[in-house]
Structure 1
């Protein structure tokens, strides 16, 4: 019997889990971050980031195909030995914990600024922790169903955003290649980090029912994320002037402030309320794989015990310490650097020991 057969996910759930992990905090600040480096040519960098993300994703799938019933927590001890492998599993758990902490911290900052200005941060974390606990407790299949549901519930957002097309000035995008290719290539650093989330395929692959479609699924997930990033970035550049866009911390949120209806004025509040669900599809998989990794590290199949420890710890952390914007930026940068190592460097480095093991196995057969 397969090790993870009791918690298998469908191809759609696999796609939406990866897509949800990618489309989170980056959507809100990406137009500004790209404009700071490449002006309004920054949208072109998204295609370069997508290519790199797809290549890295396919490399991950090619590695996992050799060990179809293993997750990354099983793979490390197999390739590196018991103790070094456990040390790497611990690093993976820390990485997932850092990712969930960075997303939660940014979510709290957004809620405190736009909705609950007088509410302490730890109260917001407590309100977020309760549904997160019940979703993560159900396991990966429940998380997959939740990510799929959130995707369908938020399909109305781009349709409503189109109602402000009349206020856009597409001449802001011209001329193309204002300063040549160098700024566009430099801005690719921002885009490849925004595509982080595909590295969860290291965990998701053994849970996938139809593993023959894993490569297709991860390409579709990356392409969906590209579509979201591209539409938001181009629309922001057409709406704001090239100099104005760098003044907003979260330009995407400011776009929604200009949309009004006779029966509804603050549609940006409704948007943000729904966007919290999108942010949760980024944080929840990382929370799950944090406790999944620590449980595997201690040889336990049930992750719920560690989850009961992790969620209160997050609430206590924000109760004791309220991170500033500078702190949140540092957390996000640390997550980005660690994510680059896990998502892009590790697949390249892992090919060497895997190739040596396969060569040794073929030599024994001969």
Structure 2
């Protein structure tokens, strides 16, 4: 079911939504993760993962175009109202857990790099208050935040890639393809989770004016973020040795120490502060998806479901590090199986039902 035209956005803005949904805290630390098995050939896995995400975008547009609505409409069309909403509930929980994972990860960065004595509940409340203000303004406000999250931080990202190249060792990348096929597959799996986020399209598709025209912008968004992640991986690989990378938790943040300016001593403070725009807009997008889905499923006001999700997030931020590891493992598994296996199966089932209905008519 399409949304009111007053709440819809232009097709080209999908580019910024895709960028916003894919770039989060993962880009600050994924270099170490993908290099654990495939070494410095892991940048090839990032490109391969980007190709798989392009195929996933094609599947999403086919599926949502046939249902002419969001994932809840897809489920209710195939399984009926009761079972369809029950299955949709798991997707909404995933969106909330994804936002929670981003929030916990960024709070950890703030506590390690800037304010080590600051309690988690204060940081989570400050971030979630701004997120609540954004989401309560409606989907167009969320899209506006996505646009800002692309415009402002790009200057810092470009600077972060240029300065380390002065002392880069490109010989680190040689020889190319000296790892096994299974090692590359492992790096692709890790990269798929890192550049995940396009599944938010399952909820905001009805809010795109002329959704078919936005398809090319979605593919361009994935292409841009894939190149961004690939460049980030290559810059880190040419700067750190493999031993250094294994002990560096946030390689991209560590690269900020190469940037020296006469008027700014701690560039990482500026970088992390500016990165708050990206994180807030990403959390806002996922919480908008989750709260809107819960509004439809339980027939409640979106404001009430949003407040509940924010309160739960503040409480869970107090949990220890073992919970964070368990949460990340659950999200990785759910992302791989639900979105890259279950969603394509839904497309096949819906296509079969549509053709059967046409034959009966």
Q: TM-score, normalised by structure 1?
A: 0.94
Deviation readout 1:47-102 (Å, 9 max, x if unpaired): 1101111111101101111122x111222112111211111121111111111111
Whole-angstrom CA distance in 2 between matches of 1:64 and 1:53:
16
RMSD: 1.6
The 5 Å alignment of 1:262-277 reads 262-277=262-277
Deviation readout 1:145-169 (Å, 9 max, x if unpaired): 1100121111202331212321211
User: What's the CA shift for 1:180?
Assistant: 4.1
Q: Give the aligned partner of residue 256 of structure 1.
A: 256
Deviation readout 1:28-56 (Å, 9 max, x if unpaired): 11110111111111101111101111111
Q: 4+ runs of 1 displaced by more than 6 Å?
A: none
User: What's the CA shift for 1:341?
Assistant: 2.8
* Number of positions where the alignment pairs a residue of Structure 1 with one of Structure 2: 360
Q: TM-score, normalised by structure 2?
A: 0.95
Contact 1:90 1:294 in 2 (8 A): yes
Whole-angstrom CA distance in 2 between matches of 1:186 and 1:92:
25
User: What's the CA shift for 1:226?
Assistant: 0.5
**Among 335, 357, 360, which residue is 1:361 paired with?**
357
User: What's the CA shift for 1:305?
Assistant: 2.0
Q: Give the aligned partner of residue 59 of structure 2.
A: 59
Q: Give the aligned partner of residue 346 of structure 2.
A: 350
The 5 Å alignment of 1:211-230 reads 211-230=211-230
Q: After alignment, is 273-282 or 258-267 more displaced?
A: 273-282
Contact 2:103 2:283 in 1 (8 A): yes
Structure 2 unaligned segments of length 5 or more: list them: none
SS at 1:187's partner residue?
helix
Structure 1 unaligned segments of length 5 or more: list them: none
Contact 1:257 1:267 in 2 (8 A): yes
Whole-angstrom CA distance in 1 between matches of 2:151 and 2:12:
12
Contact 1:25 1:106 in 2 (8 A): yes
Contact 1:73 1:293 in 2 (8 A): yes
1:158 aligns with 2:149: no
Q: Give the aligned partner of residue 86 of structure 1.
A: 85
1:329 aligns with 2:328: no
1:39 aligns with 2:39: yes
Contact 2:3 2:207 in 1 (8 A): no
User: What's the CA shift for 1:2?
Assistant: 4.4
Contact 1:96 1:287 in 2 (8 A): yes
Q: Give the aligned partner of residue 340 of structure 1.
A: 336
User: What's the CA shift for 1:333?
Assistant: 1.6
User: What's the CA shift for 1:222?
Assistant: 0.9
SS at 2:242's partner residue?
coil
Whole-angstrom CA distance in 1 between matches of 2:313 and 2:63:
34
Whole-angstrom CA distance in 2 between matches of 1:266 and 1:340:
38
Whole-angstrom CA distance in 1 between matches of 2:335 and 2:108:
22
Whole-angstrom CA distance in 1 between matches of 2:159 and 2:269:
14
User: What's the CA shift for 1:176?
Assistant: 0.9
Deviation readout 1:274-330 (Å, 9 max, x if unpaired): 112212232211111111111001224x41122122222322333xx3321x32222
